[in-house]
């Protein structure tokens, strides 16, 4: 466990130096508006291999505020030795180059030395080769070790910090403890304590090293490529449905479940609120109001909803890997735009099915399918996902419920895209047309 201290003058100067670059990063929680950045704490990391403190590693805890967004960001920085150069510098301070430390060996050695792991000890993780993941990410990941090394790992540095157990670390740990292998096993994790907004100390997770899955293909890239070749995704979707159901079974064993007497009204209310939230951010959604309200009414008229349980919460094709002829599920953080307490609350398992269904629309669109081709490709994948999901004891998916949850996810996506990838906004807007007509 690491402890953050109050920031000093060097931290303030570092933030002033790197701030403009931070706001342009993919993981920065808001785009296109000015954000107010303040360093509220700092963790100094000690590299156990350093003979002299040639490289200084500091993890700045930066509060970022812009409109409705108020996030605490983890910003590990390395101030290199005088005269040392590096690719992709963030700037120069007193003649020393400053870089993002996430892939820097001094940061990684210090991180692993401070981490804990299964049974109380961090597993051995090789650092002879270090490769940052370059794709779109809400966090920052680095592959540790050379290809073929059985101890190879992947470090995920959580960017938006929260007090309490991070579900992306807690869920895989617990699933591994009960022998579920649908998720890469966590091998080391690191926590810190810092001062919360009310002045009281809080504890939160900084990151995790998981077993690296060799030869894995990203589910979304795979699906887009298959769509682009007009190749059916149905067999893979069926397997994905079965894995999702198995995961739901395991999650229901590990975390509490809760009967929901007031389920239909609660879900209808939540969908109504989701629309209001999305409309405030994306005014183009106004034409969908009547269609959303009609779905709310159908949901409210349901006799009941299934018991709630722990779910993935943001399951989509970009969260699953295909390797050695099977699917593995990643990233249990839930929807990054939602507060932590909402993300760990028991929920409807079928929400994850709805997330995957939405992903088929994305894959068809990004893969270049349009019109009837897109409709045929997605409907085969949809039917197969449902069939795979229904093959397990957890798998049941009422049509009204699935449609409502798909609509809910699509509204979320409209906000997500407007904030992060405005050129992709037409994908959820097309989904809203389909789901409300
Ligand atoms: N255990 C793993 N083995 C191999 N690749 C992984 C592993 N975990 C993550 N990845 C790769 O890293 C990418 C980002 O991981 P993810 O957990 O989804 O991060 P984020 O929360 O930042 O979106 C994944 O899409 C995948 O390509
Ligand atoms: O993976 P994250 O936890 O960062 O999830 C967020 O980003 C996702 C995009 O990277 C976003 O997913 C949307 O786009 C995907 C294709 O890039 C698509 O497969 C999903 O179906 C779609 O929702 C996700 O919503 C967001 O929370």
Rounded Cα–Cα distance for residues 23 and 32 (Å) = 9
- ipTM (interface pTM): 0.94
Terminal Cα distance for the chain, rounded: 52
Beta strands in 101-241 (DSSP E): 130-132, 140-144, 153-157, 160-161, 186-195, 201-211, 217-218
Which residue, among 301, 292, 289, 295, has the nearest Cα to 265 in the 3D structure?
301
CA of 137 to the centre of ligand 2 (A): 9
pLDDT of residue 42: 98
- Tokens 């270090």 -> residue: 130
Looking at all shown ligands, the one closest to residue 220's CA atom is 2
Q: Return the closest-CA partner of residue 14 out of 81, 96, 86, 102.
A: 96
List, for residues 60-98, the tens digit of each pLDDT value.
999 999 888 889 999 999 999 988 888 889 999 999 999
Residue 116 Cα to ligand 1 middle (Å): 21
Give yes or no for residue 410 CB within 6 A of ligand 2.
no
Query: CB of 367 closer than 6 A to ligand 2?
Result: no
Annotated domain spans of the chain = 2-211, 217-436
H-helix or E-strand spanning residue 21? helix 9-22
Give the 3-state secondary structure of residue 134.
coil
Structure-block tokens of residue 77: 């920085």
Note the pLDDT tens digit of each residue in 398-422.
889 999 999 999 999 999 999 889 9
**CA-to-CA distance for 113 and 319, rounded, in angstroms?**
29
Strand pairing partners for 72?
Answer: 63, 161
Specify the residue for token string 């299964």.
118
Which residues make beta-bridge pairs with 382? Answer: none
Mean pLDDT calculated for residue range 292-298: 97
Question: Tokens 């005088």 — which residue?
Answer: 82
365 CA distance to ligand 1 centroid (A)? Answer: 22
| Rounded Cα gap, residues 48 and 146, in angstroms | 22
Q: DSSP assignment, residue 163?
A: S
Helix (H) / strand (E) containing 431: helix 426-436
pTM of the model: 0.85
User: What's residue 356's pLDDT?
Assistant: 98
What was the pLDDT predicted at 137? 76
358 lines ligand 2 (CB under 6 A): yes
Block residue for tokens 């909803």: 305
Closest CA relative to residue 125, chosen from 151, 97, 100, 99: 151
Q: Is 335 in the pocket of ligand 2 (CB under 6 A)?
A: yes
| pLDDT tens digit sequence for 343-363 | 888 999 999 999 999 999 999
> CA-to-CA distance for 377 and 254, rounded, in angstroms?
36
- Only one residue has tokens 């028991």, namely 346
Query: Quick one: pLDDT at residue 261?
Result: 87
Average pLDDT across the chain, whole number: 93
* 80 DSSP 8-state letter: P
Q: What is the DSSP letter of 306?
A: P
Strands 36-45 and 56-66: antiparallel
pLDDT at 395 over 60: no
pLDDT bin (cut points 50, 70, 90) of residue 26 is: confident
Domain 217-436 carries which CATH code? 3.90.1200.10
Q: What is the mean pLDDT of residues 164-172?
A: 92
Q: What is the pLDDT of residues 116-159, one digit of tens each?
A: 998 888 888 999 999 999 876 789 999 999 999 999 999 999 99
User: Which residues lie below 8 Å from residue 92, measured CB to CB, with a gap of 6+?
Assistant: 17, 98
Quick one: DSSP state of residue 5?
Answer: B
User: Which residues form ligand 1's pocket by a CB distance below 6 Å?
Assistant: 133, 137-139, 141, 154, 156, 184, 210-213, 216, 218, 318-319, 321, 330-331, 333
- Measuring CA to CA, how many Å separate 145 from each of 105, 142, 209? 12, 10, 12
Ligand closest to 227 (CA) is 2
* C-alpha neighbours within 13 Å on the C-beta side of residue 320: 27
Q: Is the pLDDT of residue 113 over 90?
A: yes
Please say whether the dihedral angle defined by the alpha carbons of residues 10, 108, 82 and 18, taken in this order, is positive or negative: negative
Q: Is the CB of 360 under 6 A from ligand 2?
A: no
Pocket probe mutation, ligand 2, options 416, 419, 424, max atoms within 8 Å of Cβ: 416
Q: Which of 144, 330, 359 to mutate to test the pocket of ligand 1 (most atoms within 8 A of CB)?
A: 330
User: Which residue in 158, 140, 147, 152 sits closest to 88, CA to CA?
Assistant: 140
């Amino acid at each position: 466990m690491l402890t953050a201290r109050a920031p000093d003058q060097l931290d303030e100067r570092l933030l002033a130096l790197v701030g403009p670059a931070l706001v342009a990063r993919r993981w920065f929680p808001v785009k296109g508006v000015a954000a107010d950045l303040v360093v509220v704490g700092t963790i100094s990391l000690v590299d156990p291999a350093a003979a002299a403190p040639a490289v200084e590693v500091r993890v700045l805890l930066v509060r970022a505020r812009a409109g409705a967004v108020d996030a605490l960001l983890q910003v590990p920085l390395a101030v290199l030795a005088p005269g040392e150069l590096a690719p992709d510098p963030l700037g120069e301070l007193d003649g020393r180059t400053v870089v993002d430390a996430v892939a820097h060996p001094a940061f990684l050695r210090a991180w692993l030395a401070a981490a804990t792991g299964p049974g109380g000890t961090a597993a051995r993780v090789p650092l002879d080769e270090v490769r940052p993941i370059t794709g779109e990410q809400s966090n920052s990941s680095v592959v540790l070790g050379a290809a073929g090394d059985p101890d190879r790992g992947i470090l995920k540095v959580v960017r938006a910090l929260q007090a309490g157990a991070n579900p992306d670390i807690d869920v895989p740990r617990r699933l591994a403890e009960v022998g579920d292998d649908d998720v890469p096993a966590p091998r080391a994790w690191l926590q810190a304590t810092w001062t919360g907004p009310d002045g009281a100390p809080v504890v939160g997770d900084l990151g995790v090293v998981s077993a690296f899955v060799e030869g894995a293909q990203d589910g979304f890239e795979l699906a887009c490529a298959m769509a682009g070749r007009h190749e059916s995704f149905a067999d893979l979707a069926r397997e994905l449905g079965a894995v999702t159901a198995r995961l739901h079974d395991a999650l229901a064993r590990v975390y509490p479940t809760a009967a929901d007497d007031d389920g239909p009204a609660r879900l209808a209310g939540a969908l109504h609120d989701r629309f209001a939230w999305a409309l405030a951010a994306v005014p183009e959604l106004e034409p969908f109001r009547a269609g959303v309200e009609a779905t709310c009414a159908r949901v409210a008229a349901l006799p009941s909803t299934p018991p709630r349980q722990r779910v993935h919460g943001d399951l989509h094709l970009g969260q699953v890997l295909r390797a050695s002829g099977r699917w593995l599920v990643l990233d249990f953080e839930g929807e990054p735009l939602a507060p932590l307490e909402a993300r760990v609350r028991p929920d409807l398992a079928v929400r994850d099915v709805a997330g995957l269904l939405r992903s088929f629309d994305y894959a068809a669109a990004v893969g270049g399918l349009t019109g009837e081709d897109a409709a045929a490709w997605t409907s085969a994948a949809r039917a197969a996902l449902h069939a795979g999901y229904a093959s397990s004891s957890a798998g049941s998916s009422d049509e009204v419920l699935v449609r409502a949850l798909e609509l809910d996810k699509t509204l979320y996506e409209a906000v997500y895209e407007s904030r992060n990838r405005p050129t992709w906004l037409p994908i959820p807007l097309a989904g809203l047309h389909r789901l409300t007509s």
